[in-house]
Structure 1
Amino acid sequence: MFSRAVRPALRAGGAAVARPAPANAATFATLREIEGRLKSIKNIEKITNTMKIVASTRLTRAQKAMDESRIYGKTSNTVFEQAETKPLEDKKVLLVVASSDKGLCGGIHSGLSKATRRILAETPNADVAILGEKAKATLSRLAPEHIVLSFANVCKDIPTFADAQAIADQIALLPEDYSSVRIIYNSFVNAQSYEPVTIEAYSEEAITQSANISSYEVDDEVLTGLREYALANNLYWAMAEGHACEISARRNAMENASKNAGEMINKFQILYNRQRQATITGELVEIITGATASEDM
């Protein structure tokens, strides 16, 4: 038998052992989870903000290069517009999709793939050459039989005319004699929008058969060089404008991601504060209840 002085302590110890776990026992783990989630979202927000700043800086240079390429491209195509050059109807057409290798820029690449599929539906015998891995990944699943040529590691930085010339040389080595080369690219409308469009580079035979080509004094050797130059010029235009659209789309995507991350941080911060307040209130209630019970013994 225990003495009367020890019995109240035993009863209190037995009650503590038999007492069930408090209802908010799992709240401590939940608080840790919320705190970890908050930390990860804040880190993501820092990354997206940094990528937005980098894209904003690069966008100015990309727009400058785009404006310069437009001048050369439009001036070059004016010759064929005035000569009323048209593609030959009895030969195949080559579609060049001016995409890139990088993502995190919204639906800019999927838009090009959809535009290419619409053109392939209208001209099912056309061949496809792809610049960049993003459009290739989509078109390889949907229309692999049309792909005859592809390029990787393009448009990583601002395109140059030398890059376009190298691609044009590879296209010229294809065995098929195409009536024209239709380049599908994203046209820069403004900093918030863009749209897939096409520009055309004609074959030497199509240029020769132009209605008003006689108004230009063009030798055969010059005609061959003009055709190659026009193809490289249009490729340079498409690549430069597509690069500007990609940088702009990435900037908008990172801005939206940063905004969404900020909203999630606010929601989780409110949830964390409520859970923490509930936990502290529960602990205070337990302390007060325990103190009251001890006084009653």
Structure 2
Amino acid sequence: MLLRSSLARIAVQPTLGAAPAGARNMATLREIELRLKSVRNIEKITKSMKMIASTKLAKAQRAMQAGKEYGLANSEVFKVATDDKSSARRLFIVVSSDKGLCGGIHSSVSKATRRAISNATDSPFATAEGSSVTIEGDSPVMVIGDKSKMQLIRALPQNLVLTFNQIGRDIPTFADAAGVADLIIKSGVKYDSVVLVYNKFVSALSYEAAIMEVKGAEALKESDGFKAYEMEDDFTGDLAEFSLANAVYAALTEGHACEQSARRNAMDSASKNASDMIGSLQMQYNRGRQAAITNELVDIITGASAL
């Protein structure tokens, strides 16, 4: 009989780390321990992703420097074609990517595109070179990357005409840009010039949305600078296609460098937040464990005093 009463008394006593009977929504030591393990695993993942992004950033910056040479060559060509008609139809190409976990890279170009298209004709959008581009409200939009596509498909469903994915999964190449330019020309969309919206690399810690305008074949033909020379129609068409590929390549490489930089910064912030959370949970776990041990000692001392 004494053995049964002792077992019953032991059975009703709270176990080590268990929450009190009257406590509600109070984490037990076991729950805190599981959460600590989960946060530590997340910290390992974010640190690994930060190291990978840092390695990729160095390669992306080298590719970006090569891509900028293509963009500078385009700017020299289009210095001749300075005519700008306010009624020109412009095609927007939003340069993004398919991957996430890189901060506000995708929303940056999406917001810039929405802001540019929603502007009135008397509110020009500034380009990366400091000039301005007047935007029409019904301008067609093409998107490179699934992330910005999902954002713009809700905001501008009537403007979206073509999307691309799986472009530049690693470091973008000129073959990727040439393929995009070829599909744009074969899409049948009528335009006088192409406006590329991409992320401009400012430093390893910052970036900003910028645009680059590329003239179409008809705009090149009508430009005073090109009218001064006798050129065949095939020449202007080939020049426009090659210039578009150059500009797309420059925007892809610079956007890729911004993506890797933003991912590294995002993973660094996530690792720091995980470390702070681990410290907070560890302190909570130690206090709970100390309280549980103190309660056990009080029960033992009380029982010994009673005997």
User: TM-score of the superposition, structure 1-length normalised?
Assistant: 0.89
Counterparts of 1:199 and 1:190, CA distance in 2: 19
Contact 2:16 2:293 in 1 (8 A): no
Counterparts of 1:31 and 1:287, CA distance in 2: 21
What pairs up with 1:54-133 in 2 under 5 angstroms? 54-81=52-79, 83-122=80-119, 123-133=136-146
Judged with a 3 Å threshold, the aligned counterparts in structure 2 of structure 1 residues 262 and 25 are, in CA distance, closer, same or farther, namely closer
- Given candidates 184, 190, 214, the residue that maps to 1:171 is 184
Counterparts of 2:283 and 2:10, CA distance in 1: 35
What pairs up with 1:19-58 in 2 under 5 angstroms? 21=13, 26-27=18-19, 30-58=28-56
Q: What's the CA shift for 1:92?
A: 2.0
Residue type of the alignment partner of 1:52: K
Q: What's the CA shift for 1:38?
A: 0.5
The residue matched to 1:199 in structure 2 has which SS?
A: strand
The residue matched to 1:182 in structure 2 has which SS?
A: strand
Match of 1:265 in 2: 278
Between 178-187 and 207-216, the greater mean CA deviation after superposition: 207-216
The residue matched to 2:286 in structure 1 has which SS?
A: helix
Contact 1:93 1:181 in 2 (8 A): yes
Counterparts of 1:166 and 1:23, CA distance in 2: 66
Counterparts of 1:250 and 1:19, CA distance in 2: 52
User: TM-score of the superposition, structure 2-length normalised?
Assistant: 0.86
Contact 1:87 1:179 in 2 (8 A): no
Contact 2:16 2:292 in 1 (8 A): yes
Q: What's the CA shift for 1:191?
A: 0.6
Between 209-218 and 172-181, the greater mean CA deviation after superposition: 209-218
Judged with a 3 Å threshold, the aligned counterparts in structure 2 of structure 1 residues 23 and 138 are, in CA distance, closer, same or farther, namely same
Counterparts of 1:271 and 1:18, CA distance in 2: 27
Once the two structures are aligned, what percentage of the paired residues are identical?
Answer: 49
The residue matched to 1:183 in structure 2 has which SS?
A: strand
Contact 1:45 1:257 in 2 (8 A): yes
The size of the alignment, in residue pairs, is 285
Q: What's the CA shift for 1:119?
A: 1.3
Contact 1:24 1:282 in 2 (8 A): no
The residue matched to 1:190 in structure 2 has which SS?
A: coil
Residue type of the alignment partner of 1:197: A
What pairs up with 1:137-216 in 2 under 5 angstroms? 137-214=150-227
Contact 2:70 2:249 in 1 (8 A): no
Contact 1:77 1:230 in 2 (8 A): no
Name the larger-Rg structure: 1
Between 177-186 and 203-212, the greater mean CA deviation after superposition: 203-212
The residue matched to 1:144 in structure 2 has which SS?
A: coil
RMSD after superposition? 2.5
Judged with a 3 Å threshold, the aligned counterparts in structure 2 of structure 1 residues 231 and 87 are, in CA distance, closer, same or farther, namely farther
Residue type of the alignment partner of 1:37: R
Judged with a 3 Å threshold, the aligned counterparts in structure 2 of structure 1 residues 223 and 25 are, in CA distance, closer, same or farther, namely closer
Residue type of the alignment partner of 1:94: L
Counterparts of 2:60 and 2:11, CA distance in 1: 69
Contact 1:89 1:179 in 2 (8 A): no
Unaligned runs of 5+ in 2: 21-26, 120-135
